[in-house]
Homo-oligomer: A and B are copies of this chain.
């Protein structure tokens, strides 16, 4: 989750993530970004070309990071229940490790602000939900879950709850026990409410 370039560029990158996350694309001005990062406006243009350029760079970095995460966890070959727990734990860990970037991604994902240039990102952001469905399907096939469950619905429940908790985690800087939280989420869904 980095920019792999000079210090200055990386610094701008990080501040941009913070500002965009807080105020959205249209809420941040280049002047503000330049003041907050302590460089001149032209310097930002030197590195990123345009306002849109910074935003896109942030998106790209995030997508790459997420894809790597998912592949690594899949390779561990856990039970579905455990893989779900690990996926959620890993998401929460990212939030602690890269709060600015995590906050930025969740804001992009949530915001309705229609920015024409993030359409393909939004499309790619459906992939995690598909992965969840595949995972649950595997749970049914292996006998871990009942075969009468509605996989799409369960994936929605899970996916939206993960988003929601990341969002809440990012808003209130509370030092939650996020590992326990991850287990609770999965258990609550797996066990249901009924007697």
A186's nearest neighbour on chain B, judged by CB, is B193
Interface-central residue, A107, A113, A189, by most chain B CB under 10 Å: A113
Cα distance, A145 to B195, chains bound together (Å): 6
Residues 27-45 of A, flagged 1 when their CB comes within 8 A of B and 0 if not, give 1000000000000000000
Interface-facing stretch out of A9-17, A53-61, A68-76, A157-165: A157-165
Cα distance, A161 to B21, chains bound together (Å): 23
A143's nearest neighbour on chain B, judged by CB, is B195
Whether A113 pairs with B111 at a CB distance below 8 angstroms is yes
* A193 touching B145 in the complex, CB below 8 Å, given contacts A164-B156, A164-B160, A185-B157: yes
A192's nearest neighbour on chain B, judged by CB, is B192
Cα distance, A107 to B112, chains bound together (Å): 6
CB-CB contacts below 8 Å: A110-125 with B = 110-114
Q: How many residues of A contact B (CB 8 A)?
A: 47
Cα distance, A31 to B156, chains bound together (Å): 39
Whether B103 pairs with A23 at a CB distance below 8 angstroms is no
Residues of B within 8 A of A21 (CB): 112
Cα distance, A139 to B60, chains bound together (Å): 45
* A112 touching B22 in the complex, CB below 8 Å, given contacts A160-B161, A189-B192: yes
A residues bordering B, Cβ < 8 Å? Answer: 21-27, 103, 106-107, 110-114, 136, 139, 143-146, 149-150, 153-154, 156-157, 159-161, 163-165, 167, 170-171, 184-185, 187-195
